């Protein structure tokens, strides 16, 4: 099951890199929850369902003149999968460029993503998933 979950999350991330919203939605449970990134400005927010989650991703893309995410490592952690990624962003108005290493924990059930929790600090994601830091 762990390898199957890793492959599902890998496909989700590849769809995100291509901005393939329909491909992403196909991998989500109808009741998926995306929790705001720990350490981020939306930390306490929760998006419910694929449509709300998609709107959140689209809003993020509209915020930046450039935004791309590259997977660095994908690790199985029981019934969860942790993705370590590097984000590249350029501010729409300011032109400021940022390169940030972040992480996300994906929980799956019945071959569907049911919960996503982002982390600004990859070490915090490792700890939350029970992985060695």
What's the pLDDT tens digit per position in 6-56?
A: 999 999 999 988 888 899 899 999 999 999 888 887 888 899 998 888 787
Tokens of 126: 């490792």
Residue 41 pLDDT: 76
Residue 69 CA to residue 15 CA, distance in Å, equals: 11
| Domain ranges across the chain | 2-128
Asked if residue 107 lies in contact with residue 114, where contact means CB atoms within 8 angstroms, the answer is yes
Task: Decide which of 3.10.450.50, 1.10.760.10, 3.40.190.10, 3.20.20.10 is the CATH code for 2-128.
Answer: 3.10.450.50
Residue 46 CA to residue 48 CA, distance in Å, equals: 6
């Amino acid at each position: 099951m762990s390898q199957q979950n890793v492959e599902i999350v890998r496909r989700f991330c590849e769809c995100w890199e291509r901005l393939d919203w329909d491909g992403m939605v196909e991998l989500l449970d109808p009741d998926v929850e995306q929790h705001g990134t720990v350490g981020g400005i939306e930390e306490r927010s929760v998006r419910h369902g694929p449509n709300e989650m998609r709107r959140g991703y689209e809003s993020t893309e509209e915020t930046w003149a450039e935004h791309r995410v590259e997977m660095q490592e994908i690790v199985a952690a029981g019934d969860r999968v942790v993705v370590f990624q590097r984000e590249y962003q350029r501010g729409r108005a300011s032109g400021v460029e940022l390169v940030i290493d972040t992480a996300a924990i994906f929980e799956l059930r019945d071959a569907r993503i049911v919960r996503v929790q982002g982390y600004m600090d990859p070490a915090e994601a490792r700890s939350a998933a029970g992985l060695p830091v």
